Structure 1
């Protein structure tokens, strides 16, 4: 028998209503050992044995090999990410792709059988039935799984590299930046919004446009992360909702590149100082809810969606402020690498392609946010 294969399954009724299914399985160490399972009928005993054979190497701590199924590989991948202490949000995202899509549809494929054409058909189906986001998540998760297989010698090449990237549907775009010239008008409308005033959201948006932080990062900002004398704030946590747990302040940034120290304009530092003085008896958070709890990014996003039509900005999102900050820095003459560092991007090319609204012509190199936002914040 080849490694990871088994012989003929023999079934015997050992006593009334108790059947035994038995075979020999050849393990990664080359040795063939007897494996057996029981059931109330012949069919159930055999089914129990076949199911056990799918994961028997993993249960013995066996090495990853070409015959390892994607069902087992998926669990090994998640365990690997837990060992690396990835964030709960990241683990939940990967876990959903594994349990909701990969395992039910292609979990019985072995690593050796996970060819590009099979994976492409799988992703096409997910894209058609569950949408762009689900397909993109599955592709990323599969890539990580197969990279683990490559690293352990179970396959020579990651097949995900040879399949098409998941493209967004035509006509659908993410947030767009607000022109610096339009920012004063927009911020004035936001500051006069009864909904945002009632929920104490206005100054959060002021901070976001000046810092370029993600909404989850801003919601999790604690006074311990602010250096008032140095005029900086450190991204060291994010507000996320974890399935089965609820809203948590995750004490790690979204990615390694996201953990950064951001230089802030003087007026923005003054804003944070005023908020701390007002809130310090209740919380160390700088942008909590009106009840002094951790703010949910989704709730803030919904607040904007509810009023954006009336403001005359039907596509306004919280991410708009992050893109607007990138545009301001770009127009001031800062490089893609400098803006990437400010925004917390690992790859400056992503900043160039997605966030920067590059204009041709002379620019003022070295301009800072305080100069560019004079009269806005």
Structure 2
């Protein structure tokens, strides 16, 4: 039974590695095709209703764009709250020094505006609830930030579901590119104790450092971009007094972002390739041979063409590999943790282990 368990751990490790590679590729595609930005815009339109266009044009959000033609892929809750409060307060007509009062007056004006149109959404009522549960403007901002963060958590789930087809296509391409015939791979691992022990050892090392493993499927490029924006925004605020060349600063900011993105791409490529390299060996090669449709005949010890049923088995193995890695790295890491813990619980302690 332990032999089958170790084979399972080794196979799950392979699923985890290639699921991570799939995620890396998907993230790079998402950045280039702006999937996150499009999803974020749709979410804000649904969330903010009639003021969504004003929100996207507000300086608090507009400055998050990489350039005028690109949508931001991430909006900090603080920026969102400040922009929302400012937009609603502006609708009060006559601004005062009391932003909290202006916000409430703006809500009243927005409700009256809606009453005279066919546009109906629950935004004024929701914001009114947040305002009534707040003592001052600081508490209101905190409540708006909390509301936005909770909504964005749901958006993350919608993003994954909406673009799940991208993951599946990438998974199929990876399974074909690396010849992930799981029938062949499982058979190879099960019949080679040394290879199996090596893979199980690698799985145990990963399980023992879950915090590090989380970084395998977390994108940091947006975080770095936001840090750069904050740094240059603080500098640009002082351009009037220091007479700094604004265009020069913006070019420096764009150059710094380009370097971050280039480094990110290089790190992701190195990370993905190193993960595959760490589980590869002379017995377990991921890829295609010169004659992929020829196999070694066990009786004659000569290479021959594959039989029809062997083609079907190979196709089935590739499909199993594609479906498995499309399930995601977090899922397979959880499975790997459980299997490793079961194996450790079943191991008999050495004679001196109790004495230590």
TM-score by length of 1: 0.22
TM-score by length of 2: 0.23
Higher relative contact order (CA 8 A, sep 6+): 2
Give 1 or 2: higher helix fraction.
Answer: 2
Give 1 or 2: higher strand fraction.
Answer: 1
